[in-house]
Structure 1
């Protein structure tokens, strides 16, 4: 059975179950979480899952919850199961338990929480219909953290830590405290700015007025963490910003997204974008998409915004597909 919902590794583990009230599960039947791995005795990897009975396991009108060792050897686990409300406060707490698990066996609670109790507190306990179960584990170590991911997380924290910042970026109504070393290492434009006797290097203030604050925030976040919060919404503007600040990795990320998400509505604008910012991959993909769907594009008003050279190239490819 595939895992249902999402497992988030925190200091402990969270299982987030969306659309809890709409689960198509009858009394006596369960849904199963994705597997998560812990290090047990002698360094052995132990794989666990949760089993949740939304309509009851052996007791009607109660949600049942069990922790199961699905793949591993005998191990001892101390654990506590709870429900987190929308404020991440404990709503339902089961006391600490210390149990020995054998492979394919588990332990849990047929009366974990009363269904009527969830209904009466649904606004607090099930925000947007999502039930969050927290398991706090002792006696079994969590899976070792990936050192690369630890580095990403630690660097991302710098974006909200002003203690060691040495440059401030102004963009319309926002002010971002940043670090010259990070910006210079990620963008050759910033590197040149901070290694020459220019105004920005002397004042420690960089004014950026040619992009929206939301795009700038995504650009800076990517510099620190290689993450983008709103890639779908800002992909075209981020592509332009990445090209402007010579950040090839971000430009590649945006290019890949646009290539995979070409539609009749965006293909022409993406073609213009690629042609103006020297992206061979996006230019070729957008061009081929338009040619393959040429009948859909002949009457589109955006076509008049395409340069004469591009229109000629599109028509040549459409008329001579075997030469493409």
Structure 2
């Protein structure tokens, strides 16, 4: 529990269940929702579920937490049954990693024996009421995956000129970068910086055959494996990835285009794949066109398709089983 208590305000929830012995016989009982103030003021909503005759263990009272509408988090808590003197009769502790959504909850399948409550009802069930106190000692969001943390940290370098040792010029923009990172992600950059050429000697790279926004996405991917404008720039990013021999970015673009084939883009994607030796994208675009051939016979984009590809389209449309 130590280490979690400083993350948020300590909070508690008192739940009174009246006529416990008479009304609730084997059914589950849900508490009202209660809220814990988490890190940076985030609200974590929970519900308690009580099983008077057990959920998995017969004759045991089970007590479970359920996270209602929050993202994954870690919670430290203490549950107590209070007697008529408001002193703990039965106490359970836990530190739980919640994965949302979890409909079954986490907690204690064997919290207290039902017959124990029954035999001591004068003390623990005053006026037939069962009182449960939940003390939430701490809550914090689950740590990010270390790989994602690394990607986030490296992405920050794209906005930070500290320790940069190369400058990339593209039309009207200037980007500071790091040779070691560029070279480790692209064999083209590696060759550029290891051979005795102008770029390695001056620390300046000029790229004029690319849109500046595409270059920004390319550099961002090199550092973080993230692309901010994939939908808008996918075709140009695909070409840039091929140019700089970045297979992982090329694969990302290929997957996106294959999943988003339409009548409007299938022909251009086919041309793109054919010109950049992407067999998977070529086959996906070709199959899409053949399967929807009636929608393409009058499309003006066909004028931009090579005779070789048109012949292949028509042959496959006539005989779909033969590729």
TM-score, L = length of structure 2: 0.63
Alpha-carbon distance in 2 for matches of 1:271, 1:11: 49
1:37 aligns with 2:73: yes
Task: Look up the match of 2:253.
Answer: 254
Task: Please say if residues 264 and 297 of structure 1, whose CA atoms lie closer than 8 Å, have aligned partners that are also in contact.
Answer: yes
Question: Between Structure 1 and Structure 2, whose CA radius of gyration is higher?
Answer: 2
Task: Look up the match of 2:286.
Answer: 287
Q: CA-to-partner distance for each residue in 1:179-237, whole Å, 9 max, x for gaps?
A: 00000000000000000010011110100000111000000000000000000000000
Task: Look up the match of 1:156.
Answer: 155
Alpha-carbon distance in 2 for matches of 1:13, 1:172: 45
Q: Which runs of 5+ in 1 are unaligned?
A: 1-9, 16-31, 50-68, 75-99, 107-137
Closer/same/farther in 2, CA of residues 162 and 172 from structure 1, 3 Å limit: same
Q: Report the Cα offset of residue 37 of structure 1.
A: 1.9
Q: Report the Cα offset of residue 14 of structure 1.
A: 5.2
Task: Look up the match of 2:30.
Answer: none
Task: Please say if residues 46 and 71 of structure 1, whose CA atoms lie closer than 8 Å, have aligned partners that are also in contact.
Answer: no
Alpha-carbon distance in 1 for matches of 2:147, 2:41: 21
Task: Look up the match of 2:171.
Answer: 172
Task: Look up the match of 1:113.
Answer: none
Closer/same/farther in 2, CA of residues 140 and 11 from structure 1, 3 Å limit: closer
Q: Report the Cα offset of residue 140 of structure 1.
A: 3.0
TM alignment of 1:82-101, pairs within 5 A = 101=134
Task: Look up the match of 2:233.
Answer: 234
Alpha-carbon distance in 2 for matches of 1:14, 1:233: 34
Q: Could you say what secondary structure the match of 2:208 adopts?
A: coil
Q: CA-to-partner distance for each residue in 1:22-45, whole Å, 9 max, x for gaps?
A: xxxxxxxxxx63443214257722
1:212 aligns with 2:190: no
Alpha-carbon distance in 2 for matches of 1:37, 1:155: 25
Task: Look up the match of 1:276.
Answer: 275
Q: Which runs of 5+ in 2 are unaligned?
A: 1-37, 44-67, 78-92, 109-132
Closer/same/farther in 2, CA of residues 312 and 177 from structure 1, 3 Å limit: same
Q: Report the Cα offset of residue 71 of structure 1.
A: 3.1
Q: CA-to-partner distance for each residue in 1:120-179, whole Å, 9 max, x for gaps?
A: xxxxxxxxxxxxxxxxxx833442332111111111111111111000000011110000
Alpha-carbon distance in 2 for matches of 1:47, 1:71: 8
Task: Please say if residues 39 and 140 of structure 2, whose CA atoms lie closer than 8 Å, have aligned partners that are also in contact.
Answer: no
Bigger RCO of structures 1 and 2 (CA < 8 A, at least 6 apart): 2
Aligned length: 222
Q: Could you say what secondary structure the match of 2:73 adopts?
A: strand
Alpha-carbon distance in 1 for matches of 2:303, 2:248: 32
Alpha-carbon distance in 1 for matches of 2:252, 2:225: 10
1:71 aligns with 2:105: yes
